[in-house]
């Protein structure tokens, strides 16, 4: 049989354990009376809201509730008086410095040993980081959806324009495959950088690599990090230029050379502009019929319309025997990732 003294000691021990659990809890645990006056305040509440126990106890719980949400408190007290336990719900509270914090609240009645309701205990969990994570995921999913739709639109355009200019199914299949693979190479560069952009130098190298003859290609210009739209559209342009060169130009025979230069300059209205030149020289003598057919192809559409228009710029394309020159001029802000392009470093190879 347990003596009365033993029961008292056990009760005191249980109370001490409970107090230790409450005080060490990661969640804020707050007690208040039926007048919404704070009676208990654990260490997690101090960390979460910025008030010490001495500052909080004895003050109204309304000090934690933004003005536009203070109508929640009378409803909460009314339900507590009825003995209801209020299940978890998400709301906004405010810290001592006035900054908002998103919390998940669970509120239960506090009863005396006789069962009389004298207040409420509130458990508050900081879910600000979780809500921000949810927001970022939703934003990412919208961005992924946008990019996927954009890629589908580009591929459909490729299929449509290539089919108009192809007379043989095998030729059509080969052209579509190579163009989709080119899109994939641009996409891989962006994925590698977690969609932060891609180096113009890396983009050119990636798209000209399949054609070989790297010793015939020279690059010169400042180091620039391209935004995703520029990566995709310039990538398409370099693929078409490289394909044409491998069939009819500098990469098709001996003695050809490709020089790609770019620079950042100041426009007439003091705006910063991007200027790129693809200059290709080769031995004259390409099949005139092939060259003529190529000039009317999808590549020409990309170089003269798709790429410049998507970058809010303008381009010119000049084809002569043994010579190809493509120039692109566009606002710098349409080309580069803003925070990385303030002072581009010079680069040449």
93 vs 88: CA distance, rounded Å: 14
Pick the CATH number of 4-126 from 3.30.450.20, 2.60.40.1730, 3.30.930.10, 3.40.30.10: 3.30.450.20
Comparing 345 with 277, which gets the higher pLDDT? Answer: 277
190 vs 171: CA distance, rounded Å: 29
Can you tell me whether residue 127 is helix, strand or coil? coil
| C-beta separation of 286 from 321 below 8 A | yes
Mean local confidence (pLDDT), 168-172: 78
Q: In sequence order, what DSSP letters do the residues of 148-194 get, joined into one string? A: HHHHHHHHHHHHHHHHHT--SHHHHHHHHHHHHHHHHHHHHHHHHTT
Residue 173 pLDDT exceeds 60? yes
Comparing 322 with 17, which gets the higher pLDDT? Answer: 322
Tell me what pLDDT residue 293 has. 42
CA distances from 186 to 127, 146, 164, 198, 208 (A): 38, 16, 25, 9, 12
CA angle 39, 43, 49 (to 5 degrees): 80
- Pairing verdict, β 100-111 and 117-126: antiparallel
Is the Cα dihedral 310, 316, 320, 324 positive or negative?
negative
Which pLDDT tens digit goes with each residue over 259-272?
Answer: 999 999 887 777 89
Region of residue 228 (phi > 0: left; psi between -120 and 50: alpha; otherwise: beta): alpha
Residues in Cβ contact with 205 at an 8 Å cutoff, skipping those fewer than 6 apart = 219
Tell me what pLDDT residue 332 has. 92
* pLDDT level of residue 170 (50, 70, 90 thresholds): confident
- Give the residue among 141, 173, 179, 186 at the shortest CA–CA distance from 157: 179
Which pLDDT tens digit goes with each residue over 66-117?
Answer: 999 999 999 999 999 999 888 889 999 999 999 999 999 999 999 998 999 9
- Give the residue among 276, 260, 274, 267 at the shortest CA–CA distance from 316: 276
Q: Quote the tokens at residue 280.
A: 């290709």
| C-beta separation of 139 from 130 below 8 A | no
Residue 163 pLDDT exceeds 50? yes
Tell me what pLDDT residue 68 has. 94
User: Hunting for tokens 């939703």 — which residue is that?
Assistant: 138
| C-beta separation of 119 from 32 below 8 A | yes
Could you name the CATH architecture of 132-348? Answer: 2-Layer Sandwich (3.30)
Residue 5 pLDDT exceeds 50? no
Tell me what pLDDT residue 341 has. 42
Q: Quote the tokens at residue 139.
A: 């934003």
Helices (H) and strands (E) in the chain, counts: 11, 13
Element (H, E) at 220: strand 217-222
Mean local confidence (pLDDT), 235-258: 89
- Pairing verdict, β 217-222 and 86-94: unpaired
Whole-prediction pTM: 0.59
Is the Cα dihedral 295, 322, 249, 281 positive or negative?
negative
| C-beta separation of 204 from 261 below 8 A | no
Tell me what pLDDT residue 105 has. 92
Residue 172 pLDDT exceeds 90? no
C-alpha R_g of the chain: 34
Tell me what pLDDT residue 348 has. 53
Q: Quote the tokens at residue 114.
A: 């006789």
Which pLDDT tens digit goes with each residue over 9-48?
Answer: 444 454 455 455 555 578 999 999 999 999 999 999 999 9
Domain boundaries, the chain: 4-126, 132-348
Comparing 42 with 152, which gets the higher pLDDT? Answer: 42
Tell me what pLDDT residue 10 has. 46
Q: Quote the tokens at residue 163.
A: 């089919």
Tell me what pLDDT residue 129 has. 86
* pLDDT level of residue 315 (50, 70, 90 thresholds): very high
271 vs 313: CA distance, rounded Å: 13
For 154-176, letters b (16+ CB in 10 Å) and e give beeebbebbeebbeeeeeeeebb
* pLDDT level of residue 346 (50, 70, 90 thresholds): low
Q: Quote the tokens at residue 160.
A: 């449509």
Mean pLDDT estimate for the chain: 82
344 vs 226: CA distance, rounded Å: 12
């Amino acid at each position: 049989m347990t003596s009365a003294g033993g029961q008292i000691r056990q009760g005191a021990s249980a109370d001490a354990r409970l107090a230790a659990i409450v005080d060490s809890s990661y969640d804020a645990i707050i007690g208040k009376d039926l007048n919404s006056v704070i009676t208990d305040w654990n260490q997690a509440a101090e960390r979460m809201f910025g008030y010490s126990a001495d500052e909080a106890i004895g003050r109204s719980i309304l000090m934690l509730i933004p003005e536009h949400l203070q109508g929640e408190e009378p409803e909460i007290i009314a339900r507590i008086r009825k003995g209801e336990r209020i299940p978890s719900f998400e709301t906004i509270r405010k810290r001592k410095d006035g900054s908002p914090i998103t919390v998940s609240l669970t509120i239960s009645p506090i009863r005396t040993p006789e069962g009389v309701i004298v207040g409420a205990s509130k458990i508050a969990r900081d879910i600000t980081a979780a809500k921000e994570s949810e927001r970022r995921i939703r934003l990412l999913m919208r961005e992924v959806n946008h990019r996927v739709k954009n890629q589908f639109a580009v591929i459909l355009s490729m299929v449509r324009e290539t089919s108009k200019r192809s007379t043989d199914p095998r030729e059509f299949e080969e052209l579509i495959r190579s163009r989709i693979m080119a899109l994939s190479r641009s996409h891989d560069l962006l994925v590698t950088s977690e969609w932060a952009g891609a180096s113009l130098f890396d983009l050119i190298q990636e798209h000209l690599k399949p054609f070989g003859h790297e010793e015939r290609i020279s690059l010169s210009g400042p180091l620039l990090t391209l935004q995703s739209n520029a990566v995709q559209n310039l990538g398409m342009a370099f693929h078409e230029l490289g394909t044409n060169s491998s069939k009819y130009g500098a990469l098709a025979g001996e003695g050809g050379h490709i020089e790609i230069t770019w620079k950042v300059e100041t426009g007439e209205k003091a705006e910063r502009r991007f200027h790129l030149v693809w200059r290709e020289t080769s031995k004259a003598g390409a099949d005139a019929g092939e060259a003529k057919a190529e000039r009317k192809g999808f590549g020409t559409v990309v170089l003269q319309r798709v790429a410049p228009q998507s970058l809010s710029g303008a381009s010119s394309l000049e084809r002569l025997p043994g010579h190809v020159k493509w120039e692109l001029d566009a606002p710098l802000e349409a080309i580069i990732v803003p925070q990385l392009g303030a002072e581009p470093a010079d680069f040449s190879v």
